Amino acid sequence: MSKKVSVIIPNYNHSLFLNQRIESVLNQTFQDFELIILDDCSTDNSKEVIEQYRNHPKVSAIIYNETNSGSTFKQWRKGIEYANGTYIWIAESDDYCQPSFLEKCLQAYSADESVGMVFCQSYSVNQHNELKGTWQSHTASITNFYWNEDFTVSGKMFIKNCMVLQNSIPNASAVLFKKQVLNLDLFNHTFKLNGDWYLYIMTLLKSSICYIAEPLNSFRIHENKGSIGNTKNYKNILEYAQIILLLYKELCFSDFEKMVIKNHFFLIFFYQVTRNRKYIFTKNFLEAFLFAWKVDHMLIFKFCKALFRKSISS
């Protein structure tokens, strides 16, 4: 029998947080869901934790990879392939949530049939479950919306206001998708860092979005963890360049909006170069530089001017 919601927990080496994650799903006030647990060849004792739920009536599938997939987004796709629900919740294995998460997200769907994504505000917590506030500061610079209140807007409006200069949905665990908008072809991409950003944009191009101001999700931040290698090799810059090209293809921007995007890209590019100068002569740097030159022929002038200003100020 199909369930209304399919909850997918893609895990890799999060045994310390798995019990809390799974229990926060099982203890939802809305109970018409199935739980799919995926493990991407963890090297800790995740399997031992997962097997405790092998016979739980809510668990419809447990899948272990024999080799690591190398991408959390491949795991998302696999989970969706197993899903039978009308709605999809990708509940990251180190996060947790309030008992009313599903109930309140589904209420938002019932109010507007055009909605394809619902996301809520999130708490920020550390490895020790210490509360560090919310993620409202992440969208503080976006003044087009009042983030203390719920709202529903068209997907394209949300993209142009909130998803061009940054990914304003910081955590997938805070999102409930309508399954019909999640074409599996959306996962046939090469993004290693920004696959979530790409997925949100492609979903928003064909549906509306609802935001819930109440923090119903807890997004865990790990100290001393980050994609340092991908920053040094400019992978994040290249992926942002791909996002920009996609947006230029799908949406119309004024000359002023394009200028803002160009300047924002340049600032990110310049900041990264000045932090990682010894990594300049790499293939990824050259690809990123050529893209920057393509979208803005004043790049070299701006770059030299910025470097000069930095040298005399230091």
Please give the mean pLDDT across all residues of the chain: 87
Whether the per-residue pLDDT at 253 is higher than 90: the answer is yes
Query: Does pLDDT of 281 surpass 70?
Result: no
Cβ atoms of 119 and 175 closer than 8 Å = yes
What pLDDT sits at residue 140? Answer: 85
At 1, the pLDDT band (50, 70, 90 cuts) reads low
The residues, ordered by sequence, that sit 6+ positions from 273 with a Cβ below 8 Å of its Cβ are 280, 285
Beta strands at 87-90 and 151-153: parallel, antiparallel or unpaired: unpaired
The whole-number pLDDT of residue 303 equals: 54
pLDDT at 24 over 80: yes
Task: Report whether pLDDT(228) > 50.
Answer: no
Q: Is residue 164 over pLDDT 70?
A: yes
Mean pLDDT within 121-141: 93
Residue 229 pLDDT greater than 50, yes or no: no
Average pLDDT over residues 213-234: 74
CATH 3.40.50.10330 fits 5-220, yes or no: no
Tell me: pLDDT of 118 over 90. yes
In this predicted structure, the answer to whether residue 185 has a pLDDT above a threshold of 90 is no
Confidence band for 211, pLDDT divided at 50, 70 and 90: very high
Q: Quick one: pLDDT at residue 233?
A: 57
pLDDT value for 227 = 44
pLDDT bin (cut points 50, 70, 90) of residue 25 is very high
User: Which of 164-178, 184-198, 285-299 bottoms out in mean pLDDT, i.e. has the lowest?
Assistant: 285-299
What's this model's pTM, rounded to 2 decimal places? 0.88
Rounded Cα gap, residues 230 and 190, in angstroms: 14
- Which segments of the chain belong to CATH 3.90.550.10? 5-220
- Percent pLDDT > 90 in the chain is 67
In this structure, of 82-91, 92-101, 165-174, 182-191, the range with the lowest mean pLDDT score is 182-191
Q: How confident is the model at residue 268 (pLDDT cuts 50, 70, 90)?
A: confident
